[in-house]
């Protein structure tokens, strides 16, 4: 009997998710202050590219994702992100060109990022879905942390534009893995979920995905959508604005700012690994709604700790990064698990193709909102508190989710 192929799927997703999502997402903001200084743009202009691109490409999730093989989505999406990195490295001083490059990046993210990986893992695992998803998501943190060290290393030795060009080629490493190793579902090679013939019921196999109209009429769909978008938006405010906040708190030298950012971001991503593995383990044993609520509360607590990180007390970067990173890692992983519980594996792709774009709206609009407020209020010391309120809204929405998850459809 052929050995269960599922572990190879998890290993492959570890690398492809890390390359397609973690590496670009956790490192593109490193170049924000370079874009500002090189092109003479205000912070709110630099941070406006991603949210504008989200609105222009948000159709890709519901329209393309359910119709295309997940592994081909990964191949196409990483190719687009590669093109975006090359474009960022060759920008003129046109804002329109900058925004267009972000549209290419965002389309690639929608196609190759979390959704295809969530669908593949959910197809291959039912009983151990939490652990499998957690292990795959660790790849995002590992590749992101490696990028956190690579980006300052490169800019210390070459122009930032050349660093962007080189980093873009990392995206293409996903292609051979997606093409030769990944399989969309066990049936593609004559196997069953979890390696057990009865792991998925005949009714579940025969079930059709829930129509969008049915999903949108469900109260829990909107609670999960609002809750996840709010929490992810609050987290993204820190991820994307961290260099600007650190500059405002006294890290005026570029090399010093790069170094403290690299430490904060890489330590946070290492802590995120612990968050993903622990919560993935607990999610297979405990109800997921209380886990999700606890994680969202932790996000709101962690954000103000960034204010403690200053040149005269730089050691505070470690407790901030550990707590923030743990919450971030657990947060991102619980969303697809909760969606699978509420709407079923067969409807996961459809549900996430609506939830992820909404999460991405929060993910990129919230940092721009905070940057706009900073321009009005004069400092992030005031504006960043708004992101704490946004995180609290997310926690409130999750608290209203059903305490007993629905049966998998």
Q: What is the mean pLDDT of residues 315-325?
A: 95
Looking at the chain, the whole-number percentage of residues with pLDDT higher than 90 is 61
Tokens of 340: 């699978």
Stretch 320-334: mean pLDDT? 87
CB atoms within 10 A of CB 246: 25
Gap between the Cα atoms of 222 and 136, Å rounded:
27
Q: What is the DSSP string of 55-84?
A: HHHTTHHHHHGGGS-HHHHHHHHHHHHHHH
Mean pLDDT of the 25-44 span: 96
Per-residue b/e over 194-232, b at no fewer than 16 CB within 10 Å? bbeeebbeeebeebebbebeebeeeebbebbbbbbbbbb
pTM of the model: 0.86
Q: Does 111 have pLDDT greater than 90?
A: yes
pLDDT of residue 336: 79
Q: What is the pLDDT of residue 202?
A: 53
R_g (Cα) of the chain, nearest Å: 20
- The conformational region for residue 408 under phi > 0 = left, psi -120 to 50 = alpha, else beta, is beta
Structure tokens at 232: 């992810």
What distances in angstroms separate CA 381 from CA 358, 374, 387, one per listed residue? 27, 8, 11
The mean predicted confidence, pLDDT, of the chain is: 89
Decide if pLDDT at 198 tops 70: no
* Three-state DSSP class for residue 350: helix
Number of Cβ atoms within 10 Å of the Cβ of 307: 15
pLDDT in tens, 246-290: 999 999 999 999 999 999 999 999 999 888 888 878 877 888 888
CA triple 96-98-99, angle to 5 deg: 65
Model confidence at 409, in pLDDT bands (50, 70, 90)? very low
**Whether pLDDT at 408 is above 50:** no
- The pLDDT value recorded for residue 401 is 85
Contact 118, 348 (CB under 8 A): yes
Count of helices and strands (H, E) across the chain: 21, 0
Residue 33 has pLDDT above 90, yes or no: yes
Q: Which residues of 268-305 are buried (b: 16+ CB within 10 A; e: fewer)?
A: bbbbbbbbbbebbebbbeeebbebbbbbbbbbbebbeb
Q: Worst-scoring range by mean pLDDT, 147-156, 172-181, 216-225, 305-314?
A: 216-225
Left if phi > 0, otherwise alpha if psi is -120 to 50, otherwise beta: which for 385? alpha
Give the sign of the dihedral formed by CA 180, CA 183, CA 187, CA 193.
positive
Phi, psi angle pair for 306, to nearest 5°: -60, -30
Distances (CA, A) of 193 to 198, 282, 390: 8, 21, 38
* Cα angle value 99/104/110 (rounded, 5°): 120
Instruction: Report all structural domains of the chain as residue ranges with CATH numbers, in order of start.
Output: 6-399 (1.20.1250.20)
User: Do the Cβ atoms of 182 and 71 come closer than 8 Å?
Assistant: yes
pLDDT-based confidence at residue 337 (cuts at 50, 70, 90): confident
């Amino acid at each position: 009997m052929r050995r269960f192929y599922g572990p190879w799927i998890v290993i492959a997703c570890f690398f492809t998710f890390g390359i397609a999502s973690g590496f670009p997402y956790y490192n593109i903001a490193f170049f924000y202050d370079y874009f500002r200084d090189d092109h003479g743009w205000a912070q709110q202009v630099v941070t406006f590219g991603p949210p504008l691109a989200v609105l222009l490409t948000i159709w890709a999730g519901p329209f393309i994702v359910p119709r295309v093989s997940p592994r081909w989505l990964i191949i196409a999406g990483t190719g687009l992100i590669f093109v975006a990195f090359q474009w960022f490295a060759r920008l003129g001083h046109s804002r329109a060109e900058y925004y267009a490059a972000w549209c290419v990046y965002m389309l690639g993210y929608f196609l190759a990022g979390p959704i295809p990986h969530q669908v593949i893992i959910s197809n291959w695992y039912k009983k151990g879905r939490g652990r499998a998803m957690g292990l795959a998501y660790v790849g995002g943190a590992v590749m992101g942390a490696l990028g956190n060290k690579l980006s300052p290393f490169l800019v210390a030795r070459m122009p930032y534009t050349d660093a962007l060009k080189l980093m873009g080629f990392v995206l293409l490493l996903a292609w051979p893995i997606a093409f030769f190793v990944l399989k969309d579902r066990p049936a593609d090679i004559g196997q069953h979920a979890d390696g057990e013939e009865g792991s998925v019921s005949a009714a579940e196999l025969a079930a059709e995905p829930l129509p969008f109209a049915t999903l949108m009429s469900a109260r829990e769909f909107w609670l999960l959508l609002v809750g996840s978008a709010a929490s992810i938006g609050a987290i993204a405010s820190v991820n994307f604005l961290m260099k600007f906040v650190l500059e405002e708190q006294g890290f005026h030298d570029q090399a010093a700012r790069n170094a403290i950012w690299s430490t904060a971001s890489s330590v946070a991503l290492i802590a995120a690994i612990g968050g993903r593995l622990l919560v993935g383990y607990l999610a297979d044993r405990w109800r997921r709604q209380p886990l999700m609520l606890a994680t969202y509360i932790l996000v709101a607590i962690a954000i103000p700790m960034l204010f403690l990180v200053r040149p005269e007390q730089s050691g505070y970067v470690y407790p901030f990064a550990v707590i923030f990173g743990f919450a971030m890692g657990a947060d991102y992983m619980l969303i697809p698990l909760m969606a699978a519980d509420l709407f079923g594996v067969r409807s996961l792709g459809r549900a996430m193709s609506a939830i992820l774009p909404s999460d991405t709206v929060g993910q990129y609009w919230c940092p721009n909102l905070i940057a706009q407020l900073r321009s009005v209020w004069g400092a992030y010391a005031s504006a960043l508190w708004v992101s704490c309120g946004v995180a609290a809204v997310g926690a409130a929405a999750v608290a209203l989710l059903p305490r007993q998850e629905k049966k998998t459809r």
